[in-house]
């Protein structure tokens, strides 16, 4: 996913994070793991908010550009040619090119030796038309991207039923 945050002055930041997991259903809590040095973590420490944007195959190159190391305060979305729009309940914006934007408020953190797990309660969602089918992610349409390693990714383009 692509995590958008703002610092205390409202400057936008975006970074890809692949160490992600849902941890609670009700209320929904989403967690990801990030380095203590990331601007993403610094911004969340300042504001207690982030938006998790679903990354698709269509924006893989732009997402990768957001992963480059830019100085604090640089808006990676601008560098990558991505667009953003105001969120409903949090200050960080949603990424327009991403089919789902999950607005989160910091719930808890868990400190590891080099990485910190940041868990946020999903307080609002922006899901674009065609993203869901029968209440599930329409993967054939959306083609979500899963990070394998380095520059390798898995494109989720079909489902299987038991």
Ligand X SMILES: Cc1cc2nc3c(=O)[nH]c(=O)nc-3n(C[C@H](O)[C@H](O)[C@H](O)COP(=O)(O)O)c2cc1C
Which residues of the chain form contacts with ligand X (CB under 6 A)? Answer: 13, 15-19, 32-35, 38-40, 64, 67, 69, 147
Q: Which is nearer to ligand X, 35 or 159 (CB)?
A: 35
Q: Which is nearer to ligand X, 18 or 45 (CB)?
A: 18
The least distance separating ligand X from the CB of residue 38, rounded to whole angstroms, comes to 4
What span, in angstroms and rounded, lies between the C-alpha atoms of 87 and 158? Answer: 30
Closest-approach residue to ligand X (CB) = 67
The least distance separating ligand X from the CB of residue 104, rounded to whole angstroms, comes to 15
Q: Which is nearer to ligand X, 15 or 122 (CB)?
A: 15
């Amino acid at each position: 996913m692509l995590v958008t945050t703002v610092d205390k002055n409202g400057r936008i930041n975006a970074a890809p994070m692949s160490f992600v997991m849902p941890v609670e259903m009700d209320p929904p809590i989403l967690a990801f793991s990030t380095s203590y040095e990331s601007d993403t973590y610094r911004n969340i420490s300042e504001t207690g908010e982030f938006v998790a944007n679903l990354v698709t195959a269509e924006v893989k190159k732009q997402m990768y550009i957001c992963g480059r190391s830019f100085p604090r305060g640089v808006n990676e979305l601008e560098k990558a040619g991505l667009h953003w729009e105001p969120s409903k309940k949090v200050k960080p914006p949603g990424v327009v090119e991403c089919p789902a934007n999950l607005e989160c408020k910091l719930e808890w953190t868990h400190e590891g030796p080099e990485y910190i797990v940041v868990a946020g309660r999903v307080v609002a969602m922006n899901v674009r038309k065609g993203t869901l089918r029968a209440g599930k992610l329409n993967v054939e349409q959306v083609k979500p991207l899963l990070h394998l390693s380095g520059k390798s990714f898995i494109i989720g383009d079909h489902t299987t039923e038991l």
